[in-house]
Copies of this chain bind each other. A is one copy, B any other.
Amino acid sequence: MRKLAVSAPFLKKEHCTQITQTAQRCGFTPDFYIETPLSPAQAADYEVIYAEPSRELIRAATSLRWFCSCFAGVEAITDESLFHNADVLLTNSAGAYGLTIAEHITMVTLMLLRQMPTCMEDMRQRRWNKIPSMRSIYGSSITVLGTGDIGTQFARRAKALGAASICGVRRSQKPCDSAFDRVYTNDQLDEVLPQTEILVMALPSTAETTGILSRERIALLPKNAIVINVGRGTAIDQEALMEALNEERIAGAALDVMVPEPLPADHPLWNTKNLLLTPHVSGQNSLPETVARNVDMFCRDLENYASGKPLAHLVDRRRGY
């Protein structure tokens, strides 16, 4: 029997059963590392590893032929030199997180537009104040930077909530989900930003996306714009964003990702005006549906792998996602 290691703390008994049944059909014996993660010392035996991204694991996995990351972001493990040979396949779990992250984006967007952080602080202090100015997703102009699963799932929800216009902005011109009214490429971003009221950033971390929301681009946003980032903190010039927020040149932001994580207690982001911070939880694996999708995706690709078919969630290591 061929060897498969499954190392993901969020898996429940039913997921392990599902993986065991699939693995056995495919000629694999799965070893589960749920309470204690797979260590590099144990990694050398495995042909297939389904785990959180880890440079150490991959470096130690000298029999590895396929590493499936149970996270979507794999920027930490695209370095070719980590892999014992260039033919080792790398897949990610992009596609499992669209639902939960789209619900997060919907929530924080409404919270910013309806001034919930102020309202909750009033409530904490038992002050009964009205909210001076509320806004709506209905009728708003939204730009979604990154039109993958997360961006698309959010775009569909925003459409259903009555957004007036939803622009997708992506790396290359390709057909997108019909929830996007228009699709632009990254080099057209400067034309889109001045008309953007709600900017949603759902990008992988690559050379091309690092710093994509630069100081100059933040300056192109209108005064009523809000910025939501659920991709990677590196996509934003964080210093410039803090300045724009503190000087009220934009209306608000919600960051689930930032640099660094966890955020040190003395970091100026904590004191930035109109900023809603969450500790990188938008895509966490406590949502049962997210875990179910993650496991389904792995199992389908395990069937593909065993029968010599192309893997559905293959990462291009040079491109970075």
Query: Residues of A with Cβ closer than 8 Å to B?
Result: 99-100, 103-104, 106-107, 110-111, 113-114, 116-117, 119-120, 122-123, 126, 128-139, 156-157, 160-162, 261-263, 265, 270, 277-279, 281, 284, 286-289
Contact = CB atoms under 8 A, between A and B. Distances in A.
A103 B161 contact: yes
Contacts of A161: 103, 106, 157, 160
B136 A287 contact: yes
Nearest to A160: B160
Given A134-B286, A135-B287, A287-B135, A270 B99 contact: no
A132 B286 contact: yes
B279 A126 contact: no
A10 B162 CA distance: 24
A126 B271 CA distance: 10
B126 A284 contact: no
A277 B129 CA distance: 12
A35 B205 CA distance: 52
Contacts of A138: 99, 103, 289
Contact of A134 (B136, B263, B284): B284
Contacts of A287: 134-136
A114 B110 contact: no
A119 B281 contact: yes
Contact of A133 (B114, B117, B136, B286): B286
Contacts of A284: 130-131, 134
Contact of A107 (B110, B122, B128): B110
B286 A129 contact: no
B114 A103 contact: yes
A138 B154 CA distance: 13
Contacts of A114: 103-104, 107, 281
Contacts of A116: 107, 111, 278
Contact of A120 (B100, B117, B160): B117
Residue in A126, A133, A261 with the greatest tally of chain B CB atoms within 10 Å: A126
